[in-house]
Amino acid sequence: MLEIKNLHVKLEEEDKQILKGVNLTVEAGKVHAIMGPNGSGKSTLSYVLSGRDGYEVTDGEVTLEGEDVLELEAEERAAAGIFLAFQYPVEIPGVGNMTFLRTAVNAQRKARGEEEMSAADFLKLIRAKAKELKIDADMLKRPVNVGFSGGEKKRNEILQMAMLEPKMCILDETDSGLDVDAMKLVSEGVNALRSEDRGFLVITHYQRLLDHIKPDVVHIMYDGRIVKTGGPDLALEVENNGYADILAEVV
Ligand SMILES: Nc1ncnc2c1ncn2[C@@H]1O[C@H](COP(=O)(O)OP(=O)(O)OP(=O)(O)O)[C@@H](O)[C@H]1O
């Protein structure tokens, strides 16, 4: 599904190389987790995949179902099925949450040559999905993320993901700021979206999220590269022993 080969990325504004040869393949139907010490490049990878400005790809390639992702603008990547749930969701004053989502859903449908969703169908769907995530009706009417608590913002990201039904879901530290109940809700929301034709890349610092969203593969990122790949046990090893032993083995 998503294939990243030898990806090298530097900041546009300064001569700083952040990703130094990332190789990663996420197969359809699989959940890959990325862990790694602070500053190793995890968020940068997620931003580059989603098409955020400010980064220059100096080498390597990224394809989604064989299509060159790096050639596409951010909105084209979204229409192609790449979704990023932000580590720090942005507030959009003046834009109602529901209006934002309906516009996003229909823009993607249009870009794919599909019919727009009717207002009635949209309302029915968003109410059902919001209920599952315990997002109340009031939050759907408020401006996007404005005045939302940290946990509410994260749940709202998952609502967006549930409404857009992307092919490739990237979650950047979605667990940070969530209380234990919210973590369960969010994980259930993610698990409900797991399917044979959808891939997940879950960036997290904590094993506890992976207790709920069981990964198929766990990667450790360090200094702009994936330095170790394993099964779910690798996350447990990190939780129990930190990164020192793993990094001493591989760096
Ligand atoms: N715009 C920027 N200007 C300067 N340095 C940057 C910028 N963006 C990223 N970096 C640097 O790139 C490195 C990787 O950052 P990134 O946020 O990708 O790490 P991370 O693995 O997601 O960290 P964390 O676990 O703390 O969220 C860090 O050293 C960071 O300071």
Taking the chain (251 residues) in runs of 10, the rounded mean pLDDT of each run is 97 94 96 96 96 95 96 93 91 94 92 90 92 86 92 90 93 88 87 92 92 94 96 93 90 76
What is the ipTM, given to two decimal places? 0.97
Q: Whose CA is nearest to atom 16 of ligand 1?
A: 41
Predicted confidence at residue 48, as pLDDT, reads 97
Predicted confidence at residue 236, as pLDDT, reads 93
Query: Could you tell me the distance, in angstroms and rounded to a whole number, from the CA of residue 38 to the centre of ligand 1?
Result: 8
Pocket test residue of 14, 40, 48 for ligand 1, highest count of atoms within 8 A of CB: 40
Residue 34, sorted as left (phi over 0), alpha (psi -120 to 50) or beta, turns out to be beta
- d(C-alpha 151, C-alpha 183), whole Å: 9
Query: Could you tell me the distance, in angstroms and rounded to a whole number, from the CA of residue 84 to the centre of ligand 1?
Result: 17
Predicted confidence at residue 168, as pLDDT, reads 96
Predicted confidence at residue 97, as pLDDT, reads 94
Q: Map out the domains of the chain with their CATH numbers.
A: 2-90+165-250 (3.40.50.300)
Query: Could you tell me the distance, in angstroms and rounded to a whole number, from the CA of residue 206 to the centre of ligand 1?
Result: 18
Pocket test residue of 11, 201, 204, 223 for ligand 1, highest count of atoms within 8 A of CB: 11
Are 98 and 126 spatial neighbours (Cβ–Cβ below 8 Å)? yes
- d(C-alpha 95, C-alpha 97), whole Å: 6
Predicted confidence at residue 126, as pLDDT, reads 94
Predicted confidence at residue 112, as pLDDT, reads 85
Predicted confidence at residue 111, as pLDDT, reads 87
Predicted confidence at residue 31, as pLDDT, reads 95
